[in-house]
């Protein structure tokens, strides 16, 4: 038989019963500290990914505009003109060329809102984050030259803003 006194057995059972409150608080504190540093980094990584997506979308719009211009001898003046025809079985033409997705033709992609404006010599495209600071920290600008420009702030990028890296299609 077990010859340990009853008090020793009870203490042992109490110790084996689980974690103490202090041990649990230490573990929770460590988890909170890790989250404190990890969540802002994750938000920054997501914003970088969306900004990269917005630049890629600007390149897509530029390529669609080149194709539209070579087909219809003019640049599209709205995003809808680059988009798919309405409804199933619609025919493609100058009002809906089917060169970009319907979502992008609606003006949204990668957490950004895209706006196209016709100009006397071509077009401009502006890309602004849906929620500045969350979906992106930069705004972008594109025109018929194919140079993507950026602004680090809420003000929309313009033709005088610095380049956002390489030109959309290698042209400058």
The pLDDT tens digits of the residues spanning 1-10 come to 556 666 666 6
pTM: 0.74
CA distances from 98 to 57, 68, 69, 90, 92 (A): 15, 10, 13, 10, 6
Q: Answer with the residue of higher pLDDT: 112 or 37.
A: 112
Confidence of residue 170 (pLDDT cuts 50, 70, 90): very low
Domain coordinates of the chain in residue numbers? 51-151
pLDDT band at 39 (very low <50, low <70, confident <90, very high): confident
Rounded to the nearest integer, the mean pLDDT of the chain is: 86
Cα–Cα distance between 111 and 134 in angstroms, integer? Answer: 9
Q: Which of helix, strand or coil describes residue 142?
A: strand
Could you give the C-alpha distances from 158 to 83, 126, 142, in angstroms and in order? 24, 8, 8
């Amino acid at each position: 038989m077990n010859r340990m006194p009853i008090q020793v057995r009870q203490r042992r059972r109490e110790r084996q019963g689980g974690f103490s409150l202090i041990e649990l608080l230490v573990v929770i504190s460590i988890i909170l500290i890790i989250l404190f540093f990890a969540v802002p980094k994750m938000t920054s990584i997501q914003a970088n990914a969306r900004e990269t997506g917005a630049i890629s979308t600007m390149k897509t719009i530029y390529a669609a505009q080149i194709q539209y211009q070579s087909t219809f001898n003019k640049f599209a003046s709205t995003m809808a003109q680059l988009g798919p025809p309405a409804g199933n079985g619609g025919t493609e033409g100058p009002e809906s060329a089917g060169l970009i997705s319907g979502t992008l033709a609606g003006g949204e992609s990668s957490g950004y809102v895209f706006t196209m404006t016709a100009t006397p010599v071509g077009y401009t495209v502006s890309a602004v984050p849906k929620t500045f600071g969350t979906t992106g920290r930069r705004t972008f600008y594109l025109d018929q030259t194919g140079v993507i420009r950026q602004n680090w702030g809420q003000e929309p990028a313009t033709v005088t803003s610095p380049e956002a890296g390489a030109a959309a299609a290698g042209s400058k």
